[in-house]
Amino acid sequence: MGRIVQKFGGTSVANVECIKNAANKVLIEHNKGNQVIVVVSAMAGTTNQLINYIEQITDLYDPKEYDVIVSAGEQWNAGLMALALQNLGLNARSWLGWQIAIQTDQVHSKARILGVEIDAIEAALVNTEIVVVPGFQGVSNNRITTLGRGGSDLTAVALAGALNADRCDIFTDVDGIYTADPRLVSKAQKLGKITYEEMLEMASLGSKVLQTRSVELAMNYGVNLQVRSSFDDKPGTIVVSEEEIVEQQVVSGISQSKEESKITLLKIADKPGIAASIFGPLADASINVDMIVQNISEDGNTTDLTFTVSTTDLKNALEVLETRANNIGVGQIIADSNVVKISVVGIGMRSHAGIAQKMFMALADKGINIKVISTSEIKVSVLVAEEYGELAVRALHSAYGLDSN
Amino acid sequence: MGRIVQKFGGTSVANVECIKNAANKVLIEHNKGNQVIVVVSAMAGTTNQLINYIEQITDLYDPKEYDVIVSAGEQWNAGLMALALQNLGLNARSWLGWQIAIQTDQVHSKARILGVEIDAIEAALVNTEIVVVPGFQGVSNNRITTLGRGGSDLTAVALAGALNADRCDIFTDVDGIYTADPRLVSKAQKLGKITYEEMLEMASLGSKVLQTRSVELAMNYGVNLQVRSSFDDKPGTIVVSEEEIVEQQVVSGISQSKEESKITLLKIADKPGIAASIFGPLADASINVDMIVQNISEDGNTTDLTFTVSTTDLKNALEVLETRANNIGVGQIIADSNVVKISVVGIGMRSHAGIAQKMFMALADKGINIKVISTSEIKVSVLVAEEYGELAVRALHSAYGLDSN
């Protein structure tokens, strides 16, 4: 007998028919003799509708009340899922965040899970009850909290960790993790397994199947995550620790992110503390900086600094920099949102030389100019002009031998 | 300084504009120096939408999960109201049923309130906080319960009682209680005051402004209820105890209910226990019987029995009676749903003779045949053919001198 967490995302529970379909997947696991914990998102569109109501009232909303409002969508879907399961003859019961309780910190609208009180749901599971939990919500100081973007995945992973589940299945509208976005690369292949570290890089690079926080939490708890489709019964992609992948691919996938913009500061003073004087104010404004490249100084006095920010933060970032321009001593600020970040990710990269070189060659062959380069232990990222993005992904997918036959 | 409960019904909080409008009414009371408790319904239509989802899954739903689902609509509206109040500069906070807690029995989907834990909200009120409470919901045994139809009014009245409020304003889409339905009787007048007892009769007779349970609860707690419009600032109708009405009207209003059907059992045995053998099975099937008339026996052996049931229960009632027909010894069962119940209600009736006689005369003058008569201490009801209903209401409204000039 196993213990399985099944999490159904917004498109998997978008209406009553979808909920019934999802309930059948729970029945299958139950009939295998498994204990099942079901985590549900709100119906696709519900959360946006509720946020729209909030925005009609105020832009500067109180996050405590925001949480009361937006948690309602998952609440009613948990009830509907419990009814759909009962309708299949199962003994099912919904458990809201405050009922379990899923304790979080008090940072409303983006709370972090501090702990899960498992006694009551353990007893329910042992009693062959299906435990249905609304994702995205917890409780702190007797008030509802929500976990921020991707919060339902977090709920699923946290429950899987706390309950020592054998597997945590994330049902979504894609059937797994691919070597590249199948919409761009027709020869992309579904990966059977991927490591947490690779998945983390993929997530942070714009592959939106799983949020970074969920992958981190799964890695910390050692939860076997599976990403799979809610619209068929095929196995998906399992995210596991490195040891569980016997034959490591050098490169697991090519990912692309269009949501980055490049900022270049020309002729800044080349002296200690200059980086802090630039990135400090950006951090204060909650702007995340990604790739940072500083060239060596040519004249010994000034240098150029290039970095990327999320395109949604670009306007804000430029405002911050312009108000500080005199203090910092910047000659000129150049912004470019017409760029795309292409990354090659693979855990096997650590033990293989020449990965980056193969990337540069493949791009040069296609006449694609590289604007910025940045590397980590298991990835190489480059920034290229947006119009070359898809060509670059396809070229690299072939170059690393990832194309299907 | 007073303490006021303001309850906004579904049409009063049907969208964000309505919620902002309602919030302004709260601000007015706050600015008078009053402590304010706000009770909100779900947006008009929301609860029906949620019930529709449930019905797409199953007809025989688990009321525990029903409560989790349908309570969501009031929950998010409470959050939106708190935000709208904050946006007006008020210190407002939502309190869900389980947070307060509003303790109920365990009869999910139609729970009764057992008690309200007031310490935390008392402290909030003293601290000039506006306390926003979703109507219709409570908690029992760590699970959400709902209070059934008209539940938000019940929440408002229970809070007003528990918190010793000076007044409980029910904001709705009508501006008060009238001497008759203004859509039928153009000369109907708004009542300034009405007694609990009269309001109870009006409510049970189909005037849908307030549910019977809320009026009963208000009477038990001695809560001053005011029914008023959410779309203007005029005073509405205050429901008070008899002592507070100095000059009692003999008749306060004429009400009409089309939702009744008449059942006549011909030639039943005239012997002890026969009524119990008929109404027992109906009660077992949860069918409420309203007017009951039994004529004296002509031949000493058989008699005829007429009673009314809600038209929605008619089919069910006839099934129950037909399966029992042999046991009971019924000659024939006649059903008639083409009837309307007209009632004359007034607390002053107790001390005035001839009220019923005036009714019979007024109806006879218009050539309206009376099918059934039933009386209580403060009302006289008759059943007439449906096509005469509106004529009867108008005739009686004039006969009792209720027409406006």
**Whole-angstrom Cα distance, residue B259 to residue B290?**
11
Distance from CA of B145 to the nearest CA of A (A): 13
Nearest CA in chain A to B100: A142
Residues 70-89 of B with CB under 8 A from A: 70-73, 75-76, 78-80, 82-84, 86-87
Q: Using a CB-CB distance cutoff of 8 angstroms, which residues of chain B are in contact with residue A82?
A: 62, 65, 68
pLDDT of residue B197: 92
DSSP state of B88: T
CA-closest candidate to residue A348, choices A152, A198, A156, A178: A198
Q: Using a CB-CB distance cutoff of 8 angstroms, which residues of chain B are in contact with residue A80?
A: 53-54, 57, 65, 69
pLDDT of residue A268: 86
State the CB neighbour count (10 A cutoff) for residue A369.
Answer: 11
Q: Does pLDDT of A233 surpass 90? A: no
Q: Where are the alpha helices (DSSP H) in A235-311?
A: 274-284
Query: How many whole angstroms from its chain centre is CA B15?
Result: 24
Q: Which residues contact B328 (CB under 8 A, 6 or more apart)?
A: B265, B268, B269, B274, B277, B278, B321
CA-closest candidate to residue B264, choices B289, B299, B281: B289
Q: What is the mean pLDDT of chain A?
A: 92
**B83 vs A58: CB contact, 8 Å cut-off?**
yes
User: Is the separation of the CB atoms in B303 and B297 below 8 Å?
Assistant: yes
In terms of Cβ atoms closer than 10 Å to its own Cβ (0-12, 13-18, 19+), residue B296 is exposed
Nearest CA in chain A to B72: A72
DSSP state of B190: B
**Whole-angstrom Cα distance, residue A230 to residue B99?**
36
Regions of chain B short of the pLDDT cut 50: none
Tell me which of A65 and B332 has the higher pLDDT. Answer: A65
pLDDT of residue A206: 64
Residue type, B241: S
Residues 26-65 of A with CB under 8 A from B: 50, 53-54, 56-58, 61-62, 64-65
- For chain A, which domains are there? 3-173 (3.40.1160.10), 243-405 (3.30.2130.10)
Q: Which residues contact B246 (CB under 8 A, 6 or more apart)?
A: none
Give the alpha-carbon dihedral of A287, A288, A291, A294, to 10 degrees: 50
Given pLDDT bands bounded at 50, 70 and 90, which one contains residue A275? confident
Angle at B197 between CA B194 and CA B198, to 5 degrees: 50
**A80 vs B20: CB contact, 8 Å cut-off?**
no
pLDDT of residue B353: 77
Question: For A149-199, how does the pLDDT look when each residue is reduced to its tens digit (9 = 90+)?
Answer: 889 999 999 999 999 999 999 999 889 999 998 889 999 999 999 999 999
**A83 vs B58: CB contact, 8 Å cut-off?**
yes
pLDDT of residue A331: 79
pLDDT of residue A274: 81
Distance from CA of A305 to the nearest CA of B (A): 43
For residue A26, the number of C-alpha atoms closer than 13 Å in the C-beta half-sphere is: 34
Residue A98 in contact with partner chain B when CB distance is under 8 A:
yes
Tell me which of B122 and A326 has the higher pLDDT. Answer: B122
Tell me which of B355 and A31 has the higher pLDDT. Answer: A31
Given pLDDT bands bounded at 50, 70 and 90, which one contains residue A303? confident
Residue type, A249: Q
Strand pairing report for B379-385 and B372-376: antiparallel
With both helix axes pointing from N to C terminus, report the angle between B314-328 and B274-284 in degrees, rounded to the nearest 10.
Answer: 140
Residue to substitute from B60, B76, B91, interface A, most A β-carbons within 10 A: B76
Nearest to A65 among B57, B82, B99 (CB): B82
Query: What 3-state DSSP class applies to A309?
Result: strand
**Whole-angstrom Cα distance, residue B398 to residue B366?**
12
Q: For chain A, what percent of residues have pLDDT higher than 70?
A: 98
pLDDT of residue B313: 92
Distance from CA of A65 to the nearest CA of B (A): 5
pLDDT of residue A294: 80
Q: Using a CB-CB distance cutoff of 8 angstroms, which residues of chain A are in contact with residue B84?
A: 57
Q: Does pLDDT of A299 surpass 90? A: no
